[in-house]
Chain A
Amino acid sequence: MRVRAGPGPVLAVSAAIYVGAILLSGQAQYLLPENLVSVLGRAVALGLTAVGQTLAILVASIDLSVAALISASAVLASVVMDGDPAMVVPGVLAVLALGAVVGLVNGLLVAKARVNPLIATLGMALVIQGGLSAVVSNFAGAVPPAFQLLDQGSLLGVPAGLVLLLAVAAAASLMLNLTRFGSDVFAAGGNPEAARLAGIRTGRTVVGAHVLCSLCAALAGLYLAARLGSGAPWIGRDGVYDLESIAVAVIGGTVLAGGRGGVWGTLAGVAVFAMIDSLFNILGVDAFAKQVFRGVIIVAAVAAYAAGTRRLVA
């Protein structure tokens, strides 16, 4: 069996550049495990969002509403909890319910109303952002200290946020690879007509993927509320979680046309972005150069995959 192009090379090259640049700059302390863990810890929100985005892309859809949903989730969590530890569970449930509803509407628009996913989720993003901005204009409410453990706590030395991300990614990966729903996701994205003729309910599969995608964004909103202590209506937009979640999924080898890819590749893409951020911070290079570098990485990764695919076809 032929070895298939995966995110391995991109990750390996990035890691080599990262280690090399740090060693050359003589700041080897940044390679200690706790520093590396903290580098990844800063990418938790992007990682959670991107795992969900990967599911949406795998069914040949896409979700541009995740950034707005993240803001709404963080605000909803901090307003509902409002510093009261007893309100943590209702707050979390409210946010998850919001995510489920948003995902359901997105999924129904795409799968049943046949609205192009870019348009459907862009519209959803505007609706959420507009509604949110009408209600709050700054940090609103606060999460209780107990809830902040989601960011500040740790398990066996691993930050709680990273544990959450790895757990979500593992769950998503097991679902994709071992369950019937996962199999349906690849089929519905790879060839909708073939999937339909094979008896797969492709519409439900697309709706399911969108619900999971939005739930992941809602989790990212919860995490950011814990990290910042409160929610504000711009945190999702400022993080550019919509476009960056798509970018890391693509860097990780998930094909925008659907049907091919996976969450571990996406996490590799998240790690690549995290390393770039960290490296530019350590070296003190300005943020614009970082953006340029990210852009180059995205295009180079996709070009590498495209070249690999052409060779296989020829």
Chain B
Amino acid sequence: MSAAFEMRGISKSFPGVRALDGVSLRAEAGEVHALVGENGAGKSTLMRVLTGAHPPDAGTMAVGGRPFAPRHPLDAARAGIAVVTQELALLPDRTVAQNVFLGREPGGWRIDRRAMREGARAALAVFGEGHGIEPDAFVRDLPVARRQMVEIARALSRSPRVLVLDEPTAALDERECERLFLAVERLRGEGVAVVYITHRMAEIQRLADRVMVLKDGRVSAAWDRVPAPGEIVAAMVGRELGAYFPRRAEGAGEVVLSVRGGSNAALRDVSFELRAGEVVGLAGLQGSGRAALARALFGVEPFERGAMALGGRPFAPRSPREAAAAGLAMLPGDRKAEGLLLAQGVGDNGLVSARAFARLLGRPDRAPRADRARIEALFRELDLRAADLDAPVATLSGGNQQKVIVARWLAMGPRALVFVEPTKGIDVSAKAGLHAIMRDLARAGAGVLFASSDLPEVVGVADRVLVMREGRLAGELPGGATEAEVMAVATGVVPGLGRAA
């Protein structure tokens, strides 16, 4: 067999990050090559180098035996490399056929619509009979899973030699996954080299011929066969899968927040309890429903079914305001986009929630819980360092910005706090400070839930860890569980591991 494409010694740095360090990847025609790694391991960067979106700092590439140095995604497309990413790049107001042939419509000056329709039909045929996608349907009318199939059909309509699928099953249900797997097998039979990026061990077992694991921008393991899931997970987290000793969370008070059977478009049958005095971690891979759960709790995208209680009272917020009024606080993951009023001062940012609940015609700074003295006291408590309360919040460091948001919610006296990615983009010492704050809040009687993609943080800080997979709570682990154990539950290697939550 000949290499469909080969990447040798690829390195790529971004300011402050070495995203790829001497990575080599060789894909054969008629094979499925699984590419595995944690979020941020470098998988996507490697594929962006392959498509010319990022030129590499070092290393060479070859396609079909010839040197290949793409400078634009179109160069890669012309060389026969097709990539289906997770960010769907479809036009919702155009038809399936128009999307499949976007930018290279058949016919000359005047588009040959019949050829376009037939071509789209032919490209979709890879999904077998009854895929239910009409070339004339508008993409906006298709469910997400079908849109994914349209993306793949678009890639296939170029008759590529190499097809890269980046977590193609993230939005698919089981039946649709099966359809996709059959399509991948069919393409392999036709001699296409498939690079299949995934976290899911079951898919690797089912489809892959070879497996490569990236960790922190390096190849941490590569096999010319499909190893046992445990080996792959060990390579992903960089150490052996440890023994599992069940241990119960300790020292928690009464239940402050409970969820029973919570379900919506992104979540299925989520049930758990959060007790006063405990810090609970929420882990899971990207797209597992971590963020969706936080949004549902806070009424941003509420549960459609199920029941919640906060402080013993029924709790069914339809908006963030209702959630905040009931005593829940959420600290969003993207501080700049969702947390801060960047153009306003530190003090105003700290007071914004309390003021929002002040009387409509009352003086905002005289509102209960909204006076400057109180927010200053909270800032002092949190050891927030700002030149003065009127300094623009944008001038603070990430850690101090996060403290402003913490103070904002403390002014509300919440019973439970939900942190989303609390230490993302914060330096190491500030991280420790925030972990201490979360612990102090719990000790003062609040329930703290934090969703984080930083595994060491989750296992190191939490009293217990809820692990999500595909919109469900896949399991619960005690604090001090190893990263490998969390990863095993998150990827579905050990579905039964941990007490079902």
Given known pairs A197-B73, A260-B93, the reply for A183 and B111 (CB within 8 Å) is: yes
B305 at the interface (CB under 8 A from A): no
Q: Mark A171-202, 1 if CB is under 8 A from B, else 0.
A: 00000001110011011001101110111100
Query: B109 near A259 (CB under 8 angstroms)?
Result: no
B90 at the interface (CB under 8 A from A): yes
Q: Which residue of B lies closest to A314 (CB)?
A: B265
Given known pairs A178-B111, A179-B111, A259-B91, the reply for A195 and B137 (CB within 8 Å) is: no
Contacts of B138 in A (CB 8 A): 1-2, 4
**Chain A residue total in the interface (Cβ 8 A):** 23
Q: Which A residues form the contact surface with B (CB < 8 A)?
A: 1-2, 4, 178-180, 183-184, 186-187, 190-191, 193-195, 197-200, 255, 259-260, 312
Q: Which residue of B lies closest to A202 (CB)?
A: B103
Query: A199 near B77 (CB under 8 angstroms)?
Result: yes
Q: Which residue of B lies closest to A4 (CB)?
A: B138
Query: A190 near B74 (CB under 8 angstroms)?
Result: no
How far is the CB of B110 from the nearest CB of chain A, in Å? 6
Query: Which of A178, A179, A183, A194 touches B90 (beta carbons < 8 Å)?
Result: A194
Query: Which of B93, B102, B113 touches A198 (beta carbons < 8 Å)?
Result: B102
Query: A179 near B110 (CB under 8 angstroms)?
Result: yes
Query: A180 near B74 (CB under 8 angstroms)?
Result: no
User: How many residue pairs, one in A and one in B, have C-beta atoms under 8 Å apart?
Assistant: 67
Contacts of A1 in B (CB 8 A): 134, 136-138, 141
Query: B140 near A194 (CB under 8 angstroms)?
Result: no
Contacts of B136 in A (CB 8 A): 1
Query: A180 near B89 (CB under 8 angstroms)?
Result: no
How far is the CB of B139 from the nearest CB of chain A, in Å? 10
Contacts of B238 in A (CB 8 A): none
Query: B141 near A259 (CB under 8 angstroms)?
Result: no
> In whole angstroms, what is the CA distance A190 to B94 when docked?
9
Can you identify 6 A-B contacts, CB atoms within 8 angstroms? A180-B110, A180-B111, A183-B102, A186-B94, A187-B91, A190-B94
Query: A194 near B110 (CB under 8 angstroms)?
Result: no
Q: Which residue of A lies closest to B88 (CB)?
A: A194
Contacts of B91 in A (CB 8 A): 186-187, 190-191, 194-195, 259
How far is the CB of A301 from the nearest CB of chain B, in Å? 18
B495 at the interface (CB under 8 A from A): no
Q: Which residue of B lies closest to A182 (CB)?
A: B111
How far is the CB of A117 from the nearest CB of chain B, in Å? 20
Contacts of A178 in B (CB 8 A): 110-111, 113
Query: A200 near B103 (CB under 8 angstroms)?
Result: yes
Q: Which 3 A-B pairs have the closest CB atoms?
A: A198-B103, A194-B89, A260-B93
**Which residues of B, 85-140, contact A by the 8 Å Cβ criterion?**
89-94, 98, 102-105, 107, 109-111, 113, 134, 136-138, 140
Contacts of B109 in A (CB 8 A): 179-180
Given known pairs A178-B111, A191-B89, A198-B102, the reply for A312 and B94 (CB within 8 Å) is: no
Query: B104 near A186 (CB under 8 angstroms)?
Result: no
Q: Which residue of B lies closest to A190 (CB)?
A: B91
Query: B141 near A199 (CB under 8 angstroms)?
Result: no
> In whole angstroms, what is the CA distance A4 to B109 when docked?
28
Query: B93 near A197 (CB under 8 angstroms)?
Result: no
16 extra interchain contacts, Cβ-Cβ under 8 A, other than A186-B91, A199-B77, A260-B93? A2-B138, A2-B141, A178-B111, A180-B105, A180-B107, A180-B111, A183-B102, A183-B105, A186-B94, A187-B102, A190-B91, A194-B89, A195-B102, A198-B103, A259-B91, A259-B93
Query: B89 near A187 (CB under 8 angstroms)?
Result: no
Contacts of A186 in B (CB 8 A): 91, 93-94, 98
> In whole angstroms, what is the CA distance A200 to B107 when docked?
16
Contacts of B111 in A (CB 8 A): 178-180, 183
> In whole angstroms, what is the CA distance A194 to B90 when docked?
7
How far is the CB of A238 from the nearest CB of chain B, in Å? 35
Contacts of A198 in B (CB 8 A): 89, 102-104
Contacts of A197 in B (CB 8 A): 73-74, 89
Contacts of A194 in B (CB 8 A): 89-91, 102
> In whole angstroms, what is the CA distance A147 to B205 when docked?
78
> In whole angstroms, what is the CA distance A234 to B9 when docked?
68
How far is the CB of B102 from the nearest CB of chain A, in Å? 4
How far is the CB of A4 from the nearest CB of chain B, in Å? 7
Query: B140 near A183 (CB under 8 angstroms)?
Result: no
Q: Which residue of A lies closest to B265 (CB)?
A: A314
> In whole angstroms, what is the CA distance A21 to B98 when docked?
44
Contacts of A183 in B (CB 8 A): 94, 98, 102, 105, 111
Contacts of B89 in A (CB 8 A): 191, 193-194, 197-198
Q: Which residue of A lies closest to B89 (CB)?
A: A194
Q: Which residue of B lies closest to A58 (CB)?
A: B93
Query: A199 near B94 (CB under 8 angstroms)?
Result: no
> In whole angstroms, what is the CA distance A200 to B105 when docked?
11
